[in-house]
A and B are shown apart, each in its own frame.
Chain A
Amino acid sequence: MKLMLHVAPGIVRRPIVSSVILETKALINIERAKVDAVSGEIVVDVEPERCSEVKAAFEARGVRVVLLENPIIKDDEECVHCGACISICPTGTFHFKGTEVVADAGKCVQCGTCVTACPQRALRLILK
């Protein structure tokens, strides 16, 4: 399952991810990270059964954690099922089912590449 970590200015220089890994010994995969001088936004993938434990460990360190349940919304009125989103997605969120494009939202890491690649502007990130 994917967690979005919002790391606040005061703690962004601390080795938060590694300390959570050491504490929980959970396998954590960093899918996307954007860290600058003042804050950080990190998407991690965690095995489902360890998810709540890992979430709590991040929260104990002052990180705001959002479970990415439905990270991307496809407007089916606008979508013409061209498939432009398929080959540019780093995590393989979209695929054809017959001739229709369907999303496996659980794979999305909210990088936003598909939002601008969609000619019909049918995709939207749900930002929390």
Chain B
Amino acid sequence: MSEINERIRDGSVRVVTAEEMPDLVDELGTDGAVREVDVVTTGTFGAMCSSGLFLNTGHSDPPIKISRAWLNNVEAYGGVAAVDLFLGATQPSEDRGDEYGGAHVMEDLVSGREVELRAQGAVTDCYPRSDLETTLRLEDFNQAIMVNPRNSYQRYAAATNSTERTLHTYMGTLLPRCGNVSYSGAGSLSPIPNDPDFEYIGVGARIFLGGAQGHIIGSGTQHLPQSGFATLMVKGDLKEMSAEFLRAATFQDYGPSLYVGLGVPIPVLNEGIAEKTAVRDRDIVTEIIDYGVPRRDRPTVRRVNYEQLYSGAVEIDGVEVRASALSSRHVARKVASALGDSIRRGEFLLSAPVEPLPAKGRNSPMKQTKEFLLVRDVMSTEVATAREEISIQEASAMIVGGPFDHLPVVSEEGRLIGMVTAWDVSKAVASGKTSHISEMMTRKVFIASPDEPMELAARKLHHHKISALPVVDKDHRVVGMVTSDHLSRLYGRRGSL
């Protein structure tokens, strides 16, 4: 490592990117590559929600012990000493919601724009002040240290959606009926896949972070290298970063996030490292997960490698489905080449890690000690269904005779095809025109699945301003019904306990 740093200082260092390395190793062999290459640069640029910023504002006069604080109406955590704040990237603003959040404050600061600080203090003898407002730029803070608890996933599952409705997720817009695949990650440019055994990646390793030099300070949260999901915790000085490599984003109906440019230089110390840095897109495999299942354990649709993802289409159940990324390969390449340039200019020295990342980690499910209700626990299972050929008279008789104002309409095979409400029937009778329910039923029906949390069903009822959801199994057969009455009963019961 010291020999490589010597060559960085005297300008003779030989640097290639992780995309160039596989062909070099094919041509020269691993022994030749060790002789010809000193450093392989990696890079990634994608949404890294688990990012945040420690800010020290300096002491006001009279002094304040900040208990709560807002930067451009985005709340930052104030429970760290008197004037240290922690701003999280995904925190939405109180006035502009998801369109502006913690990540946007960071981008504004990096871009040289002013931010409004509003703070409330816990009044004490040593900190008499109770509130404060001021306008600050990045240079006005004593420190602005980015500390990201979980960045640069070794790999990340791709997403699709088997349900009948569009989902808006942190994996982007997912069209119904597996209409698209959305993925993240930089393939062969990704840092950890180039050093999966942590020969350089470790505590204290110098990296490229947001356009500046930063450090790996340990393994990230949810670090799980034994399953191929290693993560990094990283730190860097926001004052040296640039908006080219640090960008705020908003995922529709999910919230703000931060795109972080992160690159790790990997010294080619031996043939083992040369071989590992020769990893190709096709060697990096991930799963496509069905986000249509609103639970922690989502089913895997298929396995796929990054060469297939980058081709723009993957096959799911015999159908070509378009695939596109959320992370930017364009900027990931810029990260790897900017890192290479600063090494060649002698500005970026490698630092030997003081210890490697742990080879084993933990990402266990949450221990849940309170009751957690699913739709299947609450729904009514005795639901009458109708075929679309029946008359209005028959439909109204079924509604009157049953417990619901809603009548699910099913096909010959028992699949849900529509819904008729008491209102539809009255309307049809009033107009006197319609004779069969097929002419008046709603065909676009919002549904619930038995395994989804009751909270999600409640959200759908509220969001779509409806009062009932038919519950269907994976074959689209009606197995129950949840209504706003179920919700009132739930809360009524809870209130009386």
Contacts and interface: CB of A to CB of B under 8 A. Distances in A.
B156 interface: no
Interface residues of B, number: 32
B175 interface: yes
Contacts of B173: 84, 88, 113, 116-117
A85 B172 CA distance: 10
Nearest to A121: B250
Nearest to A78: B247
B312 interface: yes
A80 interface: yes
Contacts of A121: 99, 250
Nearest to A86: B324
B239 interface: no
Given A117-B252, A119-B257, A84 B333 contact: no
Interface string A70-100: 0000000000111111111000000010011
10 contacts: A80-B259, A83-B328, A84-B325, A84-B326, A86-B324, A87-B312, A88-B179, A99-B329, A119-B257, A121-B99
Interface in B373-430: none
Nearest to B334: A99
A82 B323 contact: no
B332 to A, nearest CB: 9
Given A80-B247, A84-B182, A88-B180, A117 B328 contact: no
Interface of A: 80-88, 96, 99-100, 113, 116-117, 119-121
Contacts of A83: 324-326, 328-329
Contact of A99 (B182, B321, B324, B333): B333
B31 to A, nearest CB: 32
Contacts of B312: 86-87, 96
Majority secondary structure, A binding face? loop
Interface in B143-194: 168, 172-173, 175, 179-182
Contacts of B168: 116
A120 B327 CA distance: 11
B45 interface: yes
Nearest to B175: A88
B296 interface: no
Contact of B322 (A87, A99, A100, A119): A87
B249 A120 contact: yes
B127 interface: no
Nearest to A89: B322
Contacts of A120: 247, 249, 259
Contacts of B331: 80-81
A119 B251 CA distance: 5
Nearest to A115: B252
B330 A81 contact: yes
B47 interface: yes
A87 B99 CA distance: 23
A93 to B, nearest CB: 12
